[in-house]
Amino acid sequence: MAAMRPFFMVRDIYGASTICFYGIAILGASMIDAENPAVTPAQIRMAAMNLLSLREHSAKELQVKLAKKFASPELITSVINKLQQDNLQSDDRFSEAFVNMRLRQGKGALVIRMELKEKGISADLIDKHIGGNHDNVDWNQLALKAYEKKFGKAPIGDLKEKARRIRFLTARGFSTTNIQYALKRTNERFDEDEDDF
């Protein structure tokens, strides 16, 4: 019988590599062996705290990330609930930080809503952070700013170019009203610049 090498590489059917140490996957697979019953809530909490120390996470994000490391969904859920009770994880704080980040990136309300929903945020929190806390956000001006950053003050040459610009703003999450405002305002500025000559 041949001696087993301590380190060896295994390829799965998709070609992904996993480095193993005496048969236990150490890279490319879950960090904790699925058959290891010794996973404790303290280990899960430590992993969650490490993630939360980097940035705010929604409960759903934590659930997904921790499930990749630990094979105990019940323990993960209980740890996340305890973190919420201790106010260490908050979907409200996550939503506020996420909306502010997306506003700085020039994203529109429609995309921000969709992304928050994908991250498991409730409709009430989405409405609170897109509508309530950000009533002072002028979505029209934000659309105009994103438009001018991308296209400058160059005039729209033809319908194909206009459609391209509309698609850009739509992909950024701006409503039809916001897009119409940005296009109209840009054309007005272009006309004003031409009158100066």
Against a cut of 0.85, is the pTM above it? no
Per-residue pLDDT, 135: 65
Structure tokens at 16: 């992904």
Check whether residue 147 and residue 116 sit in a common domain. Answer: no
Instruction: Identify whether 1 is part of a domain.
Output: no
Please give the C-alpha separations between residue 26 and each of 8, 10, 21, in angstroms, as whole numbers: 10, 11, 7
The CATH number covering residue 101 comes to: 1.10.10
Instruction: List the domain range (segments joined by +) for residue 103.
Output: 91-132
Residue with tokens 């429609």: 110
In a shared domain, residues 166 and 183: yes
Residue 147: inside a domain: yes
pLDDT tens for 15-59 read: 445 555 444 554 444 444 445 557 889 999 999 999 999 999 999
Nearest Cα to 148, choosing from 178, 115, 182? 182
With a pLDDT cut of 70, the percent of the chain lying above it is: 74
Nearest alpha carbon to residue 95 among 74, 119, 70: 119
Residue 112 lies in a domain: yes
17 pairs with which residues across the strands? 11
Query: What local confidence, expressed as pLDDT, does residue 122 receive?
Result: 95
Number of domains in the chain: 3
